[in-house]
Amino acid sequence: MTLAIGTAFVFVVFFTSMLSGVFGMAGGLVLLWFLLLVFPAGTAMAVHGVIQLTANASRAWLSRRFIVWRIVALMTLGVLSAAGLLLLFSYSPNAATVSLLIGLMPILVWMPKRWFHLDANRASHAVCCGIASGGLTIAAGVSGPLIDIFFVRSRMDRRQVVATKAMIQVVAHSIKILFYLGSALALSAGEWSIILLAAPFAIFGTHTGNRILHRLTDANFRTWTRWIVTGIGVFYFLQGVFLLTR
């Protein structure tokens, strides 16, 4: 990793952590795109997991009084089940597959709420959310839009949604790091130094985003989330198609 790429990486980490601090997702999508340009897919997943773990952990800590711990516990069971299944099938990612999976995710944020009868407060739904989102986090790196459909009927306000999702993603990204540990160990000491240097910027970006979040209304929060995720998804999908046809 050159000095220029390392500097760009630190900036991207701050910006994407701030974005996730506001909307609870989207930042991870942008960060993963940058990492896929710099590293092989498996290594990008591992580095992404480290940064997202830092950002989500700080976001969860800042909003800890809003976390719904019962939902987190149930979803953790699902995430562990998904990781076991992917290990069983010896899953290995590539940039094209990851891009297409992420590119298709924004479809979920446009589907009418009345289509979904999912509620994260129900035990069976929370476990299913953990399986689906955990599998997608490990396979594609992110799963924010998928997690959202389990919260649309939950009667939780924006702070509870962001806080609970942050804690769920702490669990999912921790397991993702372990899943791609072999790729992570292939990084040089210099590369890990830059990654660790970027970690405080992830926390700083999260603090900044958290302040913005408290100034948004619930309506604006959901509207902006939908359009930002859609724009990023379209870009990813086109990139995936290009990689497949290249």
Question: For residue 24, what pLDDT is reported?
Answer: 62
Confirm if 47 and 187 have CB atoms less than 8 A apart.
yes
Cβ atoms of 31 and 52 closer than 8 Å: yes
Kindly write down the DSSP assignment for every residue of 90-134, as one continuous string: T----HHHHHHHHHHTTHHHHS-GGG----TTSHHHHHHHHHHHH
Counting the structural domains of the chain, the total is 1
Pure H helices in 106-217: 107-110, 123-140, 144-148, 158-179, 181-185, 189-213
pTM, two decimal places: 0.77
pLDDT for 131: 94
Of residues 76, 97, 75, 199, the one with CA closest to residue 141 = 97
Could you tell me how far CA 235 lies from the centroid of its own chain? 17
pLDDT at 37: 84
Task: Give the domain extent around 168.
Answer: 3-245
pLDDT, block means (10 residues), the chain with 246 residues: 80 84 73 86 87 84 91 94 91 84 75 72 90 88 77 76 87 91 80 82 82 74 75 84 83
Check residue 84 and give its pLDDT. Answer: 93
Burial 5-42 (b: 16+ CB within 10 A, else e): ebeebbebbbbbbbbbbbbbbbbbbbbbbbbbebbebb
Cα–Cα distance, 97 to 95 (Å, whole number): 6
How many residues appear in the chain? 246
Amino acid 152: pLDDT: 67
Amino acid 71: pLDDT? 92
Give me the pLDDT at residue 1, please. 65
